Structure 1
Amino acid sequence: MEKAIEIKNLCKTYKNGRGIDNIDLDIQKGDIFGFLGPNGAGKTTAMKIMTGLMKPDRGDVKILGHSILTEFEKAIYNVGCIIETAEAYPYLTAFENLKQFSRYYKDVDVGRIEEILDMVGLLKHKDEKPVRFSLGMKQRLGIAAALLSRPKVIILDEPLNGMDVEGMINVRNIIKSLAEKESTTFFISSHLIHDIELTCKHVGILYNGRIINVDSTENILNSYASLENYFVSEVERNGRI
Structure 2
Amino acid sequence: MEKVIEIVSLTKKYKNGRGIEDICLDIYQGDIFGFLGPNGAGKTTAMKIMTGLIRPDRGDVRIFGHSITEAYELAMAEVGCVIEIADSYPFLTAYENLKQQARYYPGIDNRRIDEVLELTGMLKYKKEKPKKFSLGMKQRLGLAAAILSRPKVLILDEPLNGLDVEGMIDVRNMIKHMAEQERTTFFISSHLIHDVELTCNQIGVIYNGKMLNVDTTENILKNYATLENYFVSEVEQNGRV
Shorter-chain TM band? over 0.9
| Long gaps (5+) in structure 2 | none
| Contact kept in structure 1, 2:36 and 2:193, CA below 8 Å | yes
1:226 is the counterpart of 2:226 = yes
1:199 is the counterpart of 2:214 = no
- SS in structure 2 at match of 1:8: strand
State the 1:240 CA deviation: 4.1
Deviation per residue, 1:107-128 (Å, 9 max, x gap): 1111100110011111111000
Q: What is the identity percentage for the equivalent residue pairs of Structure 1 and Structure 2?
A: 71
Q: 1:170 aligns to what? A: 170
Q: 2:7 aligns to what? A: 7
Structural RMSD (CA):
1.0
Q: Distance in 2 between matches of 1:162 and 1:132?
A: 15
| Long gaps (5+) in structure 1 | none
Deviation per residue, 1:137-196 (Å, 9 max, x gap): 000000000000000000000000110111100100110011001110000000111010
Q: 2:40 aligns to what? A: 40
What residue identity is the alignment partner of 1:63? I
- SS in structure 2 at match of 1:238: helix
Q: Distance in 2 between matches of 1:225 and 1:217?
A: 10
- SS in structure 2 at match of 1:112: helix
| Contact kept in structure 1, 2:208 and 2:239, CA below 8 Å | no
Q: Distance in 1 between matches of 2:232 and 2:107?
A: 45
- SS in structure 2 at match of 1:69: coil
> TM-score if structure 2 supplies the norm length?
0.98
Q: 1:149 aligns to what? A: 149
Q: How does 1:110-121 map to 2 (within 5 A)?
A: 110-121=110-121
- SS in structure 2 at match of 1:206: strand
Q: Distance in 2 between matches of 1:228 and 1:164?
A: 22
State the 1:96 CA deviation: 0.5
What residue identity is the alignment partner of 2:109? D
What residue identity is the alignment partner of 2:91? Y
- SS in structure 2 at match of 1:5: strand
What residue identity is the alignment partner of 2:233? S
Q: Distance in 2 between matches of 1:116 and 1:203?
A: 27
Q: 2:134 aligns to what? A: 134
What residue identity is the alignment partner of 1:51? T
- SS in structure 2 at match of 1:212: strand
What residue identity is the alignment partner of 2:17? G
| Contact kept in structure 1, 2:35 and 2:206, CA below 8 Å | yes
State the 1:219 CA deviation: 0.1
Over 4 Å off, 4+ runs: none
What residue identity is the alignment partner of 1:65? G
Deviation per residue, 1:200-231 (Å, 9 max, x gap): 00000001111000000000000112101111
State the 1:239 CA deviation: 3.5
| Contact kept in structure 1, 2:212 and 2:239, CA below 8 Å | no
